[in-house]
Chains A and B, each alone.
Chain A
Amino acid sequence: MSNQFDPVISLRGAKKYFGAVHALEDGQIELFSGEAHALVGENGAGKSTLVKIFAGLHRPDSGTLTVDGKVVHFDSPRAAIESGIAVIYQEPTLFPDLTVAENIFMERQPQRSFKRIDFRRMNREAREIFSRLEVVLDPTRLALGLSIAEQQIVEIAKALSLDARVIVMDEPTAALSSVEVDRLFRVSETLKASGVAILFISHRLDEVFALCERVTVMRDGRFVTSSLTNETDENSLVRAMVGRDLEKRTDQLRQFDQRALLEVEHLTLEGLFVDISFTVAAGEIVALSGLVGAGRSEVATAIFGIRRYDHGRVSVDGKELRRGSPSAAMTSGIGLVPEDRRLQGLVMEQSISRNISMGSLKSLKKNGVIRAFTETRFAADWSVKLQIKYGNLGNSVSTLSGGNQQKVVLAKWMARSPKILIVDEPTRGIDIGTKAEVHRLILELARSGVAVLVISSELPEVLNLADRILVMREGRLVAEFTHDDASEEAIIGAATLSSEVSAS
């Protein structure tokens, strides 16, 4: 048995590459029995990769993982579970048509003779676990209809039934109400008291301080610092999370008229965002910043009509836009470069030229018919304008690199000469060179009088591009900065901290 002061599980010097992307450069963390350890960092800091290494889903390319001081290699999720590690995801996936107890004992139900399931024993054991956790949940009810919080409890019960000594909670509170968070914390305290080590991933720093004894900060795939929570404070954590050398801002004051092209008033979609109001003027670049899950993309898709909002209104050039209709939004001059380019932006199996022309077919047709020559010429023109690097316009768009795929999506929308362009994570997963080109294109669009709304999780990008920066947190607009008084600390502070700190 290991000494109480040795970590139950530790990871050192872990690297993980996906092709050219360095998801993890230096992953390092130690978890101790009976302690909750928070892992914090910006989007893309490498937290999820680290969690997946613990879960046995990813094998690190290098680095050492030890359990009870012994080096281990997880080659499957099962190996991780057998070593006593359980991962509770933000949205658990239970079998809805099975009972709570059946979910807990999936694949290892207690049995009677002839392989019959011993339901009575199974339910009794489930009930025992729940009483250990001090929660009230009927093991015989179906999982269907359980709230996310209750599903997480079921997952925790399952972890305990497997004698898990390490429980990883990957942003468990993101979808919970405050009452449910309190309950989860009570359960977590019980777990700690029984000697379980908890790894707690959260964007909410107040929760980190409420629950955890220790906190590790990661940034750009690297371990930055680790400390006891009672020896640090929120502001120093934020500094550690941002910490990179601030890029020099390209300070070029843009001129734009104050006529609001896009007006969003009191936009509300129950459960996703509340009372969102802002305007974007012709020639202005407004950034919508905040953490993943803050509701930024949801606002964008609601403006564009993919989602129907419950209340509020969107106007273009003073005219109210019909909600829930992308084609109406397009007719009024709005374009949306969506967040997920492979799923939403492109038809991957179709050709580059078809993807570029997809938004402009009506203007390409002559006597009702689209001629291949016209379409090719059109696609070729736009490929040249955006310097898309391709082998053949007839090749499927999936043959292009991520950056060039993104340019195809941009070409598709720029070809429509939109009045308002919403770009959601325009440079996610693309190389630095193309990134700069995409930035240049966005600036050019604004200079030509297009109202641009940028959604980005990359703060340097936001600071570089935006004339104004709006920050969302948990479905609400919580702060607004001008280009001049914005800083990474201020933005991330507004996006993460509790409200007293960010009010500005």
Chain B
Amino acid sequence: MLQVDSVKAGDIEGGTAKSNSFEIRNLVRWESGLAVVLIASLVIGTVASPQFITSANFFNIGLSVGDIAIMALPLTLIVITGEIDLSVASTLGLSSSLLGYLWIHGWPMQLILPVVVIVGALLGFINGFLVTKLGLPSLAVTIGTLTLYRGVALILLGSNIVSNFPTTFTTIGVTPIPGTPLPWSVGIFIVLALIFGVVAHFTPLGRSIFAIGANAEAAAYSGIKVKAIKLRLYVLSGIICSIAGILFTFRLATAEYDNATGLELNAVSIVLLAGVSIFGGRGTILGVVLAAATVGAIGNALLLANFPQQAMGLINGGLLLVSVFVPNSRDLVNRFKGQIGRVRLVGTRRG
């Protein structure tokens, strides 16, 4: 999608071809690499098990990554501005618990769903407020709210497990979108990814988000409202995570305080595997889509190939490290070079 546009510009402008693809160009390489990994894991999966290329299995893959991939979208924008949100899975968990809590207290579903989303927005606002208005580091703030929101979820539901949800809603965990092998969460992810992709790469807001991450000071000098934009992204993250929470609850037909515990790391993994720079300023939504598909496919292929589940951490952790190291290697090398006395570190690595 992105490449097509730049080719058009090139045809017309001649000498100024590729002008708009610069920010994307480096990443296109990363994304082509991701596409290769994705295809490889599809091939390995197909070879490893005849069940791999089946609608039922695609449905399973989709279920396994759908909610996480949804959370990864707003997280991507936050990481591009140079911040982070580690409270995403706790926001999901709290939304899930709130949903269960209100349901057992007899609230109608039409009322519960908007309330859950509004509370999600509020949770995001709290993060954003602490980060932008009080100027606290987002890593610390969202580690705090990661624990805090989970704690509130525990207070709400205790050890209760709510599972008497109406089947109209819980079918999303067993039946795909009619006419496709995809679960609803994946369908929603695709729609959101399209919207996020357009916003991030083709609107003034998207440009502002990249500019903030690349140089917040220059962004402010260009009239970009740095803090207001970051605050809105956190609110957006809260909203999207609460929607993911609703989907998560219905697909498992279960609301529990510890739903999705620890999944923030999976969301961060997808964002980083997507080639989004942890230092901000670089990344694409296309990368996030590919990364989510890759993570789902690899996990599933390994599962079908009877790869020992105990060793899955090795694969996930290794992928994460590679995806942090490779796209940022230039930054890292520059950083070491920039620090007198640490030059040797670069040399050591070379030797």
A residues sitting closer than 8 Å to B (CB atoms) are 304, 306, 326-327, 329-330, 336, 338, 343-354, 357-359, 361-362, 364-365, 368-373, 375-377, 379-380, 392-396, 412
Contacts and interface: CB of A to CB of B under 8 A. Distances in A.
Contact of B203 (A348, A358, A365, A393): A365
16 contacts: A329-B223, A343-B217, A347-B218, A349-B215, A350-B22, A354-B20, A354-B207, A368-B203, A371-B5, A372-B5, A373-B9, A375-B19, A376-B9, A392-B17, A394-B22, A412-B222
Contacts of B8: 372-373
Contacts of B19: 351-353, 372, 375-376, 379-380, 392-394
Given A369-B203, A393-B16, A350 B23 contact: yes
Contact of A392 (B16, B218, B219): B16
B25 interface: yes
Contacts of A395: 22
B225 interface: yes
B30 interface: no
B16 A327 contact: no
A170 B13 CA distance: 53
Contact of B218 (A346, A393, A394): A346
A376 B204 contact: no
B210 A371 contact: no
B221 A345 contact: yes
Looking at B23, B203, B218, B219, the one whose CB has the most chain A CB atoms below 10 A away is: B218
B202 A369 contact: yes
B134 interface: no
B6 interface: yes
Given A354-B22, A380-B13, 20 more contacts: A304-B221, A326-B221, A327-B225, A343-B215, A346-B215, A347-B219, A348-B214, A350-B214, A353-B16, A354-B207, A358-B222, A372-B8, A372-B21, A373-B13, A376-B16, A376-B19, A376-B20, A379-B16, A394-B17, A395-B22
B223 A326 contact: yes
B287 interface: no
A351 B25 CA distance: 11
Interface of B: 5-6, 8-9, 12-13, 15-23, 25, 198, 202-204, 207-208, 210-211, 214-215, 217-225, 281-282
Contacts of B218: 343-347
Contacts of B22: 350-351, 354, 394-396
Contacts of A348: 214-215
B20 A327 contact: no
Contacts of A392: 15-19
A347 B214 contact: yes
Contact of B215 (A347, A362, A376): A347
Contacts of B207: 354, 357-358, 361, 370
Contacts of A368: 203
B13 A349 contact: no
Given A344-B217, A358-B222, A372-B9, A353 B20 contact: yes
Given A370-B204, A371-B5, A372-B5, A351 B221 contact: no
Looking at B13, B15, B219, B221, the one whose CB has the most chain A CB atoms below 10 A away is: B221
A350 B223 contact: no
Nearest to A361: B204
Pairs A-B, 9 closest by C-beta atoms: A361-B204, A393-B19, A372-B20, A394-B19, A394-B22, A351-B22, A327-B223, A330-B223, A372-B5
A373 B12 contact: yes
Given A373-B8, A380-B16, A394-B19, A336 B225 contact: no
Contacts of B215: 343, 346-349
Contacts of A306: 220-221
A344 B215 CA distance: 8
A333 to B, nearest CB: 12
A350 B9 CA distance: 18
B23 to A, nearest CB: 6
A347 B214 CA distance: 6
A496 B84 CA distance: 48
A49 B205 CA distance: 43
B46 to A, nearest CB: 37
B221 A344 contact: yes
B25 to A, nearest CB: 7
A230 B44 CA distance: 89
A11 B16 CA distance: 51
B198 A350 contact: no
Contacts of A354: 20, 22-23, 207
A338 B219 CA distance: 12
Contacts of B9: 372-373, 376
Contacts of A370: 202-204, 207
Nearest to A412: B222
Nearest to A383: B16
Contacts of A352: 19
Looking at A304, A348, A368, A376, the one whose CB has the most chain B CB atoms below 10 A away is: A376
A343 B218 CA distance: 6
A365 B207 CA distance: 12
Looking at A362, A369, A394, A412, the one whose CB has the most chain B CB atoms below 10 A away is: A394
Nearest to A301: B221
Nearest to B12: A373
Contacts of B281: 347, 349-350
Contacts of A357: 207
B231 to A, nearest CB: 15
Nearest to B16: A393
Contacts of A373: 5, 8-9, 12-13
A365 B204 CA distance: 8
A358 to B, nearest CB: 5
A368 B201 CA distance: 12
A394 B18 contact: yes
A329 B222 CA distance: 10
A393 B17 CA distance: 8
A412 B203 CA distance: 18
A394 B21 contact: yes
Contacts of A377: 13
A197 to B, nearest CB: 28
A369 B198 CA distance: 8
A148 B179 CA distance: 72
A349 B214 contact: yes
Nearest to B211: A347
B332 to A, nearest CB: 15
A357 B198 CA distance: 18
Looking at A306, A346, A372, A377, the one whose CB has the most chain B CB atoms below 10 A away is: A372
A194 to B, nearest CB: 34
